């Protein structure tokens, strides 16, 4: 097809070629971006659990027992997250105690905090635990 010298702009073929190149590049880049976001979120929850651990040690020193999550968050002026019932939410993670309502007697010796990411985020549930020794364990996946 012969173009007139006075015509300006791109041909349909040139526009389609650019669109195809953009689609190919995005199909390569998006999965890597999503995995990077997931890795950052998972790293964030480990840092949060370390904060929970040091806050529990401080609470234990002051009160002779470990705290329930709502007590711990109140003692830390809600810097651990948002209290929802007896749980704490921070970002896309929910932190719960195991057992859900530990007694004061149980909290004198031990505590377990479970961090879980809802399965609707990247279609992959993620569960991590923290105990009184400061041990952080990935439970799932």
Q: How far is the C-alpha of 39 from the C-alpha of 18, rounded, in Å?
A: 32
* CA atoms within 13 A of residue 25's CA, in its CB half-sphere: 6
Percent pLDDT > 90 in the chain is 69
The pLDDT confidence band at residue 43, using thresholds 50, 70 and 90, is confident
CB 41 within 8 A of CB 91: yes
Percent pLDDT > 70 in the chain is 91
pTM for this entry: 0.76
């Amino acid at each position: 097809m012969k173009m007139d010298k006075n015509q300006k702009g791109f041909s349909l073929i040139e526009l389609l070629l650019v669109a195809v190149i953009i689609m190919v590049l995005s199909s390569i880049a998006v999965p890597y971006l999503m995995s990077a976001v997931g890795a950052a979120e998972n790293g964030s929850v480990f840092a949060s659990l370390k904060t929970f651990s040091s806050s529990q040690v401080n609470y234990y020193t002051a009160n002779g027992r470990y705290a329930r999550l709502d007590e711990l968050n109140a003692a830390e002026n809600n810097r651990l997250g948002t209290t929802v019932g007896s749980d704490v939410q921070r970002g896309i993670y929910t932190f719960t105690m195991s057992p859900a309502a530990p007694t004061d007697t149980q909290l004198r010796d031990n505590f377990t905090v479970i961090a879980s990411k809802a399965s609707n985020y990247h279609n992959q549930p993620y569960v991590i635990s923290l105990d009184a020794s400061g041990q952080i364990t990935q439970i799932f996946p």
